Chains A and B, each alone.
Chain A
């Protein structure tokens, strides 16, 4: 009954994962993941490398097909061969660790490409929106720059703007600061925090514990493909119950 997008309303989880299993060959990457993301919520996923965090995000917008389980995005089943992937991806924005900007186009053109070619919106209107987004990520004046001429932090903010230009309902962030120099990490985190404060639904995979504590409504700790435990940040950091969580936090903090 949940698989009917028409029956979905904002009171239900925007993303609802149940018992998601993903294997690459013999290796089980996700071993029964379940989580709920409500509209406007900010979820941070933490955990050691190889815990399957990136794969988890990629399952949500069908970049990676899952083996079993259910992922509902606004009531739409993602694990369904008849799924309209393009329609799903218009609703779900994603930002990558390596930015993945298109190096042959300027920052502004990077932002405009998808709205113009995918959403078929008018170029003039899209350009106005793209310029506004550049201001929003504090990069006005850099519109004509090519990705190679921008710093890592600036590229990542362009990537965030590019994703926002599609006006998604939820944003996925895949370790977006992991490839950045320490001094540029902050400018990217501030941008994400602003977004979160505006009410954007965000699923964030991160190693920045301070940031997670600050912005998250709920923190999920994953290890070896399972959610070990989750809770609101204050509770999570103060008294985590599981031994693995405690060990991980003691190494990180």
Chain B
């Protein structure tokens, strides 16, 4: 228990698995690589060429058609981003609270938090979306003021729930990864548990949580088209509307690839930043 001395002889050291360089050996391959981007743009160009070749005589070219609808798609995409940002913000705040519940010293609080976390982490996102759309009222009365709840707001709430559960797990994992010596030293300095969390533990957790949290955000962005199924007029829904109003089958593949490119262009910098943040915090 005590008296462990530092040694120069490697054989006397306890076995420690070697730390892999950040980004090199991740649990899951990183989404949104540059190579994927090239493939995507190549596929888009190819699809446009094939579509143009298929088009009947006199029909406007596919690039021109895409360009014509771009402002509308941009409007829809703005809603995707707004929903993802809001869902992330709400989910993070709730998730922090739930994560603290997971490490609570009171058993009932811990059990309840665990149940909530497990449910919302493992439930299919689409199911949660349907629940929110169908169970939430179309307006709420707050102190005499009637606040309408449009579909996109309910869908945002539906996305925030799994974010909350995932953030809660991130918090729990990060808190548990802080060496016990930090708790001990804080206790010995007469910090209360809350002070220890606020001043010592959580500030150190932020660094550790940053990369997975950014990863989660990219996942939420890519999940926002799910809301088209429940009738939110975001980019995916609008693309469908455009296709049906144009009524040209050769537009189908280029249009959806075009939309995919938008998502890629938005998520790629986030993925790069995640790697950069990971690398920065790995070397400490």
Contact = CB atoms under 8 A, between A and B. Distances in A.
Interface of A: 29, 48-55, 61, 63, 85-87, 89-90, 92-94, 96-98, 100-104, 113-114, 117-118, 148, 159, 162-163, 166, 174-175, 178-181, 205, 207
A90 B185 contact: no
B189 A114 contact: yes
B187 A89 contact: yes
Interface of B: 1-6, 179, 181-182, 184-185, 187-192, 195, 199-200, 203-204, 207, 284
29 contacts: A29-B1, A48-B3, A49-B2, A49-B3, A50-B1, A50-B2, A54-B2, A55-B1, A63-B188, A93-B188, A94-B188, A96-B185, A100-B179, A101-B185, A102-B185, A103-B204, A103-B284, A104-B204, A113-B199, A114-B189, A114-B190, A118-B189, A118-B190, A118-B195, A163-B188, A174-B2, A175-B3, A178-B6, A181-B6
Contacts of B4: 49, 178
A162 B189 contact: yes
Contact of B191 (A93, A96, A118, A148): A118
Contacts of A175: 2-3
Contacts of A166: 189-190
Given A55-B1, A104-B203, A178-B3, A61 B192 contact: no
A210 B187 CA distance: 31
Nearest to A48: B3
B190 A205 contact: no
A205 B1 CA distance: 13
A116 to B, nearest CB: 10
Nearest to A172: B188
A75 B179 CA distance: 33
Given A54-B1, A113-B199, A205-B2, A63 B204 contact: no
Contacts of A63: 184, 187-188
Contacts of A97: 2
A174 to B, nearest CB: 8
Contacts of B182: 100, 102
Most buried by B among A54, A103, A174: A103
Contacts of A49: 1-4
A207 B188 CA distance: 23
B283 to A, nearest CB: 11
A86 B188 CA distance: 9
Contacts of A205: 2
A222 B257 CA distance: 75
